[in-house]
């Protein structure tokens, strides 16, 4: 694949920002690492990591393409064979040496992300996290100041140093109910690109990675979506994207939905969390209102967006929203997620709507729930978490 990509660069015959072969080389390995750790669990988080793997692969492919085009401009090679021989070292670095390090990091980050999701669910029992020493035979000293540190699970420090925070990092962490300790006086900074929490961000590599610098991001994101969708880049309608999180809102071809404005306002919250939000093309009814298809796919999962026009929505408002989401899932024959966008919603009212006996049958096709309340997004929450009151919307 690398040779085919190189030939496309040599002849100038590739579509978009980079040859798709470079993208496939990286994304297939990174997704293999993520899916191998998740094994189908925590589907929304797994899918977001997969989408962000594609984003990273796209930016890496763009960087590799630019490097090779610069080398071609400076080269005196008269044939493709001669040029290919000149750049074998560059191809090996990007597609073997660097990829091995990225694969190892993706595997560790995916494992950490899955454990983080479970840690959040169990935080009422184990509210703190303990930083564990490296298991390497010859551990580096750089992370030693963190060994044994215990901080609350919601401490901002875990947003940047949760292992792995360096290439080859073999430090670990665990949840605990032991007492909190002080932060070390010396706090070694994480490596650029790894200064994030994959479980909270839904991305293996952070925006500080060098590959994300110096490119026309929107074009690269469109190229990534085209590869994911298997379509021509011209058919990708990128409605919005977030340069920081690389989240995107898009659709393929023409969009006929009549609720674009309202749904976009909801989608932006997901986008700013790094999610891929695809608006679904729908067939309208005679009245112009679609009653069959959920509004979007968020990280590849059907997601129905519901908005309450009233402040402080009551039990009946929420019950109706859940019923309508269930009906769309039932028509599809799938369990679908739902995003509820409210103002001044009460936790107790949402919990009551989920617990109501008359509503149980109306939620069989409702999976995870996000709640956007007073301009902030919370979730995803399972039905069990909401029924048991183990969720927060403030």
Q: 23 pLDDT exceeds 90? A: yes
Clarify whether residues 207 and 235 are in a common domain.
no
> Which pLDDT score is estimated for 261?
85
Residue 226 lies in a domain: no
Query: Domain total for the chain?
Result: 2
Domain final position from 165, 181, 211: 211
pLDDT tier at 182, thresholds 50, 70, 90 = very high
Ranking 70-79, 209-218, 262-271, 357-366 by mean pLDDT, the lowest is 357-366
The Cα–Cα gap between 347 and 367 comes to 18
Residue 224 lies in a domain: no
Q: 284 pLDDT exceeds 80? A: no
Average pLDDT over residues 135-158: 95
Residue 393 lies in a domain: no
Owner of token pair 């609720």? 259
- 375: region left, alpha or beta (phi > 0 left; psi from -120 to 50 alpha): left
Q: 65 pLDDT exceeds 60? A: yes
Name the pTM for this structure.
Answer: 0.91
Residue 111 lies in a domain: yes
What dihedral angle (degrees, nearest 10) is formed by the CA atoms of 70, 73, 75, 76?
180
Task: Output the average pLDDT for the chain.
Answer: 92
**CATH number of the domain residue 265 falls in:** 3.40.1350.120
Distance of CA 82 to the CA centre of its chain: 41
HSE-CB at 307 with a 13 A cutoff on CA atoms is: 13
263 contacts 257 by C-beta, under 8 angstroms: yes
Domain final position from 179, 211, 243: 211
Return the SS3 of 370: strand
Clarify whether residues 265 and 184 are in a common domain.
no
Clarify whether residues 85 and 162 are in a common domain.
yes
Clarify whether residues 160 and 264 are in a common domain.
no
Residue 58 lies in a domain: yes
Clarify whether residues 240 and 354 are in a common domain.
yes
- Residue 121 sits at the vertex; the CA angle it makes with 43 and 301, to the nearest 5 degrees, is 20
Residue 76 lies in a domain: yes
Q: 216 pLDDT exceeds 80? A: no
More confident residue, 296 or 214: 296
Clarify whether residues 352 and 243 are in a common domain.
yes
Average pLDDT over residues 361-371: 87
Owning domain of residue 197: 2-211
Domain final position from 157, 178, 211: 211
Clarify whether residues 258 and 155 are in a common domain.
no
Clarify whether residues 30 and 131 are in a common domain.
yes
> Which pLDDT score is estimated for 287?
45
Clarify whether residues 257 and 142 are in a common domain.
no
> Which pLDDT score is estimated for 78?
93
Residue 222 lies in a domain: no
Residue 41 lies in a domain: yes
Clarify whether residues 207 and 102 are in a common domain.
yes
Clarify whether residues 285 and 354 are in a common domain.
yes
pLDDT tier at 286, thresholds 50, 70, 90 = very low
Tokens representing 296 are 């979007």
Clarify whether residues 299 and 364 are in a common domain.
yes
pLDDT tier at 360, thresholds 50, 70, 90 = low
Average pLDDT over residues 253-281: 87
């Amino acid at each position: 694949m690398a040779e085919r990509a190189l030939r496309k660069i040599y002849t100038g015959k590739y579509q978009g920002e980079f040859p798709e072969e470079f993208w496939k080389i990286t994304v297939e390995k990174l997704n293999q690492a993520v899916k191998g750790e998740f094994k189908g669990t925590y589907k929304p988080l797994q899918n977001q990591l997969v989408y962000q793997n594609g984003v990273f692969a796209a930016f890496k492919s763009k960087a590799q393409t630019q490097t090779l085009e610069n080398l071609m401009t400076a080269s005196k090679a008269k044939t493709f064979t001669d040029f290919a021989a000149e750049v074998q070292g560059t191809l090996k670095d990007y597609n073997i040496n660097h990829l091995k390090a990225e694969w190892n990091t993706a595997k560790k980050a995916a494992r950490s992300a899955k454990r983080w999701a479970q840690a959040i669910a169990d935080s009422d029992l184990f509210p703190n996290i303990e930083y564990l020493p490296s298991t390497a035979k010859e551990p580096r000293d750089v992370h030693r100041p963190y060994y044994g540190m215990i901080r609350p699970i919601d401490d901002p420090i875990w947003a940047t140093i949760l292992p792995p925070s360096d290439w080859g990092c073999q430090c670990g962490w665990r949840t605990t109910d032991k007492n909190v300790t002080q932060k070390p006086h010396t706090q070694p900074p994480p490596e650029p690109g790894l200064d994030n929490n994959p479980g909270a961000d839904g991305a293996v590599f952070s925006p500080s990675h060098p590959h994300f610098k110096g490119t026309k991001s929107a074009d690269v994101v469109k190229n990534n979506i085209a590869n994911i969708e298997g379509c021509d880049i011209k058919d990708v309608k990128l409605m919005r994207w977030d340069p920081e999180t690389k989240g995107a809102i898009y659709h393929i071809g023409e969009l006929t939905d009549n609720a674009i404005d309202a749904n976009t306002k909801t989608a932006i919250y997901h986008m700013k969390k790094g999610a891929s939000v695809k608006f679904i093309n729908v067939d309208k009814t005679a009245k112009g209102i679609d009653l069959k298809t959920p509004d979007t796919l968020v990280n590849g999962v059907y997601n129905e967006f519901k908005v309450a026009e009233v402040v402080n929505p009551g039990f009946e408002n929420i019950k109706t929203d859940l019923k309508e989401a269930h009906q769309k899932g039932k028509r599809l024959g799938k369990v679908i997620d739902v995003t509820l966008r409210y103002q001044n919603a009460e936790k107790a009212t949402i919990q009551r709507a989920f617990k109501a006996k008359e509503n149980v049958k109306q939620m069989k096709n409702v999976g995870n729930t996000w709640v956007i309340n007073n301009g902030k997004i919370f979730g995803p929450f399972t039905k069990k978490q909401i029924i048991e009151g183990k969720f927060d919307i403030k």
